[in-house]
Amino acid sequence: MSSVELSHVNIQGVNCAVFAADSINHSSSGRSGLLRELTIEARRSGLAVEKSALAYTEFGSVSFYGTPDLVRYLASAGMPRITHRISF
């Protein structure tokens, strides 16, 4: 079993989850599958999640992958404070 830290935040009335995680192979398909799995687990844990993203370090800086408008917001605002940890 693994665990992941996440930020569960409300941004302009939308419940968002930002997971501090990256896929093992660092590919778009790997990230997509991981984001889907983590979003499902967050919802199973009782969190309302309408949009989600991964936050990971790449080439020395934080990058984001997920819902496009959330990713654009995070690119300028940065990673929100960690609020939860889920196991999957």
Mean pLDDT per 10-residue section of the chain, whose length is 88 residues: 94 97 96 97 97 95 97 97 93
Residue 44: per-residue pLDDT? 96
Among the listed residues 5, 53, 52, 56, the one whose alpha carbon sits nearest the alpha carbon of residue 26: 56
Residue 79: per-residue pLDDT? 96
Residue 1: per-residue pLDDT? 73
Beta strands in 12-83 (DSSP E): 14-20, 51-58, 61-66
User: How many independent structural domains does the chain possess?
Assistant: 1
Residue 27: per-residue pLDDT? 95
Find the domain containing 18 and state its range: 3-87
Q: Specify the 3-state DSSP secondary structure of 85.
A: strand
